[in-house]
Amino acid sequence: MKEKIQERINKVRNLANASVKGNSVGTSSSRVTDSLSSSIRSSKEATIFLAELDAAIKVAQSKKE
């Protein structure tokens, strides 16, 4: 990791560590629905999708090596 990038990462992390719970702009994270989540209709579909995602990630990783 480049030093300057690490410095920027540290700055964000330090701000997060100093953050007081519930005292920040906006609402806290909640579950959202997007085009992927609205397309997964059952645990079987999710299992298939996640297996395909895992395989795609492995292929993408191997292409980089």
Residues in contact with other proteins by CB under 8 A are 2, 4-5, 8-9, 11-13, 15-17, 19-21, 24-37, 39-40, 42-43, 45-50, 52-53, 56-57, 59-61, 63-64
Instruction: State the minimum distance, in angstroms, from the CB of residue 31 to other proteins.
Output: 4
Separation of CA 47 from chain center? 19
Min separation Cβ 38 and other proteins, Å = 8
